[in-house]
Chains A and B, each alone.
Chain A
Amino acid sequence: MNETQTVTECEDLIEIQLEGVALDELEEWLETMLVIREFEESLEPLTTSGNQIPGGVHQASGQEAVAVGAIRALEAGDLVASPHRPHHHALAKGMTPRVAMAELWGRTTGCAGGRGGTMHLNDFSLGYFGSNGIVGAPVGIAMGAALAAKLRKTGQVCVGFFGEGGANTGRTWESINFAAVQKLPLVAFCENNQYAVETFIGRSAALDGSIARRAAGFGLPSVQVDGQDVCAVYRATREARERAARGEGPSFIEAVTYRYRGHNTGEVANYREEREVERWRRTKDPIERLRRALENAGRLQAGRFDALAAKAKETVEDAIRFADESPTPDLETATLGVTALPFDPRGPAAR
């Protein structure tokens, strides 16, 4: 078994502190996390047995606090770019489960009309600058968007999410260095779920697997936070956002998190033991921790959690129905929209 970084010997749920957060917003956070969990958990049978979703997807069950904590720390006009495991970011940024689900199914009602699928979600009107199939790419897009925000003086702060796997690509650090030099309003957000497909971080990164320590050498504030504590993620992101908005430049956040599911749907996991997964669920589940904290603070009425969970289930069932009933794309559109300039697409479709 791998030496995961932050699971202690503690066998019970580890408490979180509701400091520095607006208490009346937390129920919505919990609700969003429940929708994300339900959404992600619904995908396995849709890809593996029913084939309603062409291909597999990357689920983020267990990583809900990262997306919700980070994105709730942003202002509405701020921008987010995601990597290949993106559904939690998209949903937290305001994409509806219907639109996200329909895109996964390759239907016209999806956010990219069925052209993109899981790794190419987008809604620029929501400030969601796309999920990305290429590891290391999204922080570059967020950095470029941040350059535009600085030049246009829009006041936007841009968050580029990437995993600890993405932290091992050179392009990630090219972009972080450039952002630091130019003092761009960027939050470089490393979502460290500890496994790059099957490779444990201890085998791919020095410095005890701390990406934040590596980032500090680039001359920007760099912190590691508990990614299973939505309030800790929020506080760190809020501080980074405020610094960026003051024109003081980028920050680096590493949130240590854990994915309960495999790298992709249908995966047989031979690289970690089920015991490890169970321990993360038991001691650090982000939804259970927020629920417990709200209950202890008297902010969650009896039965409310179950009601929210039932509502999340209904929401996702509705999204699946919506996707199922949505039309598949018109074949005539397959070659449209490649460039603005007209050209002969050739190929059988053009004959």
Chain B
Amino acid sequence: MSELMTVGQAFQQGMREEMTRDETIFVLGTDLFIRGGHFAQVKGIGTEFGHDRVIDAPISEAAMVAAGVGAAMNGMRPVIDLNFMDFAFGAMDEIANQAAKSRYLWGKPLPLVIRASSGVALYAAQHNNSLEAWFMHTPGLVVVMPSNPADTKGILKSALRGEDPVIFFMHKRLTGARGEVGGPDDLVPIGKAVVARPGRHVTVIASGIVVQKALKSAELLAADGVDAEVIDLRSIFPLDTDLIAESVRKTGRAVVVTEEPPYASVASEIAASIQEDLFEYLDAPVTRLTAAHAPIPHAPQLMEALLPQVETVVGAIKRSIERWPSSGDV
């Protein structure tokens, strides 16, 4: 581990190290060369690697992802920067029908990273869609959602050394979050979750920025004698059902916290799989705490009102334990 850096800087450093290691890696997107992207995620890389490796594209999302698909088929490892994840709507066929199908239909591995800033923040409904369930639902795609600088850098490295199309979610409100990062060859495996806080009484499952809320909730619960275990998924797909199962078998309770709309969500999938696979271990129904089923509004108060907050998580867990007590609980 090294000095503290932000999530944005960790991504930059990961890109720089990997582009130095592997000449087939390039990054393509809007406003990258000079500006370094809208979240400074590739700032400074342009002048270092030149216009052939840091390619500014017109605002043509379909062409950007198509460029990545075709270039990956022809020997490159593209990183396509879609700026905001919402802009994937303009390239959905290229992502879901071309990139995702290449390996299965054509036997052609497609090493491609599609990075975008995601999650709920300002600027209202059209810049704050949660697309993780859409991509998780699409066979052939890998979906990652790191929560800190070390995982951002380490997962990026795994993606750039793997064979799959990886949708790389970087939460807008995590851009400035600081932490230590690993060295040039410290990879964080994709498809492996991690226990962010060990505990005995309830498993709180989260990813991305929501991990911070889950950890704060665990602190408050601890004051009331509830020892919560927090799992940071890191990858949405493949989903680390092994670690979830290990934790839930121990705690007998599971709460899934996300900031996506509830129906057919990542949280729904996790809750269903826990109840299907671990029914006999559960002391209580699995709880989903998601955003409400509404577009994200402009006024910050309205926006926050739709999202699960620390108090929501704490309250839900306490109510669940009250209603379905078990001998193992306090």
Contacts and interface: CB of A to CB of B under 8 A. Distances in A.
Given A158-B70, A175-B60, A177-B60, 4 more contacts: A141-B70, A147-B67, A174-B66, A178-B57
Given A140-B70, A152-B76, A171 B93 contact: yes
A137 B97 contact: yes
Interface of A: 79, 81, 112-113, 115-116, 120, 122, 124, 129-130, 132-134, 137, 140-149, 151-152, 154, 156, 158, 170-171, 174-175, 177-178, 181-182, 337-344, 346
Given A120-B105, A338-B139, A341-B238, A152 B164 contact: no
Interface in B82-112: 93-94, 97-98, 101, 103-109
Contacts of B108: 122, 124
Interface in B56-84: 57-58, 60-63, 66-76, 78
Nearest to A343: B238
Contact of A149 (B26, B74, B94, B140): B74
Contacts of B191: 341-343
Contacts of A124: 73, 106, 108
B142 interface: yes
A143 B67 contact: yes
B180 interface: no
Interface in B190-234: 190-191
Contacts of A149: 74
29 contacts: A116-B105, A120-B106, A129-B73, A130-B105, A132-B98, A137-B66, A137-B93, A137-B98, A143-B63, A143-B67, A144-B67, A145-B71, A145-B73, A146-B70, A148-B75, A151-B52, A152-B24, A152-B76, A158-B70, A158-B74, A171-B66, A171-B93, A175-B66, A175-B67, A178-B60, A337-B107, A340-B163, A341-B162, A341-B190
A85 B234 CA distance: 42
A250 B14 CA distance: 34
B287 interface: no
A156 B109 CA distance: 20
A144 B106 contact: no
Interface in B229-243: 237-239, 241
Contacts of B55: 182
Contacts of B162: 340-341
Contacts of A177: 58, 60, 63
A350 B168 CA distance: 28
Q: Classify chain B: how many residues form its interface, as a range.
A: 35 or more
Nearest to B103: A337
Contacts of B52: 151
A124 B103 CA distance: 12
A342 B63 contact: no
Contacts of A129: 70, 73-74
Nearest to A178: B63
Interface in B139-189: 139-142, 162-164
Contacts of A156: 74
Nearest to B242: A344
Nearest to A115: B105
Contacts of A145: 70-71, 73-74
Contacts of B163: 340
B106 A116 contact: yes
Contact of B63 (A115, A134, A140): A140
A141 B109 contact: no
Nearest to A113: B107
Contacts of B105: 112, 115-116, 120, 122, 130
A192 B52 CA distance: 34
Nearest to B165: A339
A133 to B, nearest CB: 8
Contacts of A140: 62-63, 66-67, 69-70, 94, 98
B238 A339 contact: yes
A340 B164 contact: yes
Given A151-B52, A337-B104, A339-B103, A142 B70 contact: yes
A175 B105 CA distance: 23
Contacts of A151: 26, 52, 71, 76
Given A175-B66, A181-B58, A338 B71 contact: no
A151 B94 CA distance: 21
Contacts of A130: 105-106
Nearest to A344: B241
A112 B103 contact: no
Contact of A144 (B74, B109, B237): B74
A147 B71 CA distance: 6
A341 B63 contact: no
B164 A141 contact: no
Contacts of B63: 140, 143, 171, 174-175, 177-178
B241 A340 contact: no
B70 A339 contact: no
Contacts of B75: 148, 152, 154
A264 to B, nearest CB: 20
A156 B93 CA distance: 26
